[in-house]
Structure formats: C-alpha cells, structure tokens
Amino acid sequence: MTSRPTITAFAASPDEGRGLARDMRVRWALEEAGQAYDVRLVSFAEMKQPAHRALHPFGQIPTWEEGALALFETGAIVLHVAERHPGRLLPLEADARARAIMWLFAALNTVEPPIVELEQSEYVEGDRPWHAERVPLMQAAVRRRLDDLSRRLGEAEWLDGGFSAGDLMMVMVLRRLEGTGIVDEYPNLAAYVARGEARPAYRRAFEAQRAVFAAAKGG
C-alpha cells in the first residue's frame, strides 16, 4: 500500500467515543498493519447525500478511499488491509490464511447477526407490548453462538494460532454485547476480548476515535 488511505467516521458518534462504531474495526486493522491513514468525519445528513452514497450505496460509515479504489463494508476493508500487509493480519501459509478468513466471515455472518438483532430490538420495537417476551428468546440465540464459540476457543489465546483479522473482527463483534453482561458469563471469551483490547494497535485505534468525541466536546 503506497498511498495513504482515507476512511470515513461519524462526526458525532452515538457511542460517544466508546469504539463501538464500525470505523473502529478499520482503524484497528490499519494500526495492526502499521499503515498511516486519514479520517474524514461525516454527519448523519452528509452520509445520505449523493457524494457519500457514491462511496457507500447504503449511506453509512465507514468507507475507504485509496487512489482510484473506493470500498465500503468493514469485512471487505479489513480483508483488503490484511491482504496488502502480508503476515500482519493473515498468516502467510495458505491453509492458515484461509482459516483466518473463515473466522472473519464467521464473526460477521454467524456471531454478529443475533447480537445486532438483540441490540437493535430495543430501538426498533422497544415500545411494543410483545418486546419483553422476545428479549429472552433473542438473548438465548446470542448465548447459543457464544456457547459454541467458547467451546471452540477453549483455553487458546486466539481462534486459530496467532492473532489474525478473524480475531480482530470477532473481538469487535463481541464488544457489541458490552453492557449486557452476556460475555462475562463466558470467562474465556471475556479474557479473549480483554486480550484484544490490550493490544497496542487496538489502544491506538481506540484513542484515535475517542479523540474525535473529545474534540467535539471541546477537549
């Protein structure tokens, strides 16, 4: 990667700098890769304008621009960063590399959907009379995934050998359960998330996104 990429992030993230918006995934990958980057902050209104939709058809963040290349979708962007920096976020050995990519997809396609459903239900249907009955069902669906993930991880440090893009994505997906107490029911998963958060690259990415919120608040 020769040129310096630009990513987009919320000008005013609803998470108030807690690193839960998805630009955090891209920032973390870039920090792991040692790749400097620029950030363009966008408001909710700007995200829905044609200029931003040309980059992101669904009017969301994050996006990626690097020379003639424009990307959206955090999975695709993290994979792109990993592929451009061999050995940093993907193993060099072909089979191990395929398994790391498998875990990246597993985080996004298998573990994240029930977590997002649980999270979003509060906003989308929280005032409906049947919502309270659905919550335990959605929590059970999340726990089914975490039961299996916890069993597979066991006492290992990372999901498959060394830290990879698959771990990065899985840690970020599990972080979406913050405040629910569900991850803490699985001591090995709680320790796994803590290991991810302790990585220097994670810390740098976290501080960078938190600085956006701090600056907006006037320091």
Say whether residue 209 binds ligand GTB (CB under 6 A): no
Among 5, 7, 17, 22, contact with ligand GTB (rule: CB under 6 A):
22
With contacts defined by CB under 6 A, name the span among 15-23, 92-100, 129-137, 143-151 that binds ligand GTB. 15-23
Cβ atoms < 10 Å from Cβ of 27: 25
Say whether residue 15 binds ligand GTB (CB under 6 A): yes
Among 7, 21, 39, 142, contact with ligand GTB (rule: CB under 6 A):
21
Reported in sequence order, the residue ranges of the chain that DSSP labels E, i.e. its strands, are 6-10, 38-42, 63-66, 69-72
For residues 9 and 104, give the distance between their C-alpha atoms in angstroms, rounded to a whole number.
Answer: 21
- Cα–Cα distances in Å, from 72 out to 25, 63, 69, 118? 13, 5, 10, 24
User: CB neighbours of 93 closer than 8 A, spacing ≥ 6?
Assistant: none
Residue 62 preceded by cis peptide, ω within 30: yes
Among 1, 6, 11, 20, contact with ligand GTB (rule: CB under 6 A):
20
Residues across the chain = 219
With contacts defined by CB under 6 A, name the span among 18-26, 159-167, 184-192, 202-210 that binds ligand GTB. 18-26
Say whether residue 8 binds ligand GTB (CB under 6 A): no
Closest CA relative to residue 41, chosen from 20, 67, 71, 62 = 62
The one-character DSSP state at 5 is P
In the complex with ligand GTB, which residue's Cβ is closer, 47 or 100?
47
Residues 74-133 touching ligand GTB, rule: CB under 6 A, are 74
Site string for ligand GTB, 148-187 (x = CB under 6 A): ----------------------------------------
Q: How far is the CB of 28 from ligand GTB (least distance, A)?
A: 13
User: Under the rule (CB under 6 A), what is the footprint of ligand GTB?
Assistant: 14-15, 20-22, 47, 59-61, 73-74
